[in-house]
């Protein structure tokens, strides 16, 4: 899956919710680290975080990485900087390296929120986002209807009605 495809599952406004949930879990901590690749696809998320962070009374610390080795370095630096929380942005790099990200967050006892349930299945603290399995099921119904002769432009727009914790 391309980064653009993965990031398109989430509205940029989700960043405010993710920061808010981190704040609820660790209310006294004013700094939050962002686990992100240096992908240009994440620009909208970065802007949303920059907008939401001041209203929540938190400072967001970006940790753009380009390689798996930089993950440990970045999260170690966040822990040393007293970043009491970690917000993992939804992109392919983070998904591919989720085990390493989760392990580093656990090692440093960082309160962390992830965009997808499979981070939690790998030991992460919590996730909040769309239910990717449900989205795939919805896509399958579209494919089925198109293969049976329905015109794509005649199909209704649908969205997921459940969230993943």
Residues of the chain with CATH 3.40.50.2300: 3-130
Distance CA 62, CA 31 (A): 11
Strands (E), 46-133: 59-65, 85-88, 111-114, 126-127, 129-130
Tokens of 11: 């509205």
Q: How far is residue 4 from each of residues 41, 44, 54, 110, 144, measured CA to CA in Å? A: 6, 12, 27, 27, 25
Whether this prediction's pTM lies above 0.85 is answered by: no
Distance CA 23, CA 57 (A): 9
A 10 A CB-CB count for 153 gives 5
Residue 104 is predicted with a pLDDT of 94
Residue 4 is predicted with a pLDDT of 41
Residue 1 is predicted with a pLDDT of 40
CATH of domain 3-130: 3.40.50.2300
Q: Note the Cα 129 to chain centre separation in Å.
A: 8
Residue 162 is predicted with a pLDDT of 57
Sign of CA dihedral 116, 120, 125, 126: positive
Residue 3 is predicted with a pLDDT of 40
Rg of the chain (C-alpha set): 17
Give pLDDT tens digits for 7-40: 566 888 888 999 999 889 888 777 788 777 777 7
Residue 66 gets which letter from DSSP?
S
| Consecutive 10-residue averages of pLDDT for the chain (165 residues) | 52 89 85 75 87 89 86 89 83 91 94 91 90 81 92 82 55
Distance CA 154, CA 116 (A): 31
Q: How far is residue 12 from each of residues 15, 18, 48, 90, 145, measured CA to CA in Å? A: 6, 11, 6, 10, 30
């Amino acid at each position: 899956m391309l980064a653009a495809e993965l990031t398109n599952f989430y509205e940029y406004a989700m960043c405010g919710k993710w920061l808010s949930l981190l704040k609820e879990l660790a209310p006294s901590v004013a700094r939050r680290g962002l686990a992100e690749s240096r992908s240009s696809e994440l620009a909208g998320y970065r802007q949303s975080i920059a907008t939401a962070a001041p209203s929540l009374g938190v400072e967001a610390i970006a940790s753009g990485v380009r390689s798996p080795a930089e993950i440990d370095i970045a999260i170690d630096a966040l822990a040393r900087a007293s970043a009491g929380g970690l917000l993992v942005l939804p992109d392919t790099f983070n998904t591919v390296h989720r085990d390493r990200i989760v392990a580093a967050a656990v090692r440093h006892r960082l309160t962390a929120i992830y965009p997808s349930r499979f981070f939690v299945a790998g030991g992460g603290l919590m996730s909040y986002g769309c239910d990717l399995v449900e989205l795939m099921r919805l896509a399958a119904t579209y494919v089925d209807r198109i293969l049976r002769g329905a015109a794509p432009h005649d199909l209704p727009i649908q969205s997921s009605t459940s969230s993943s914790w």
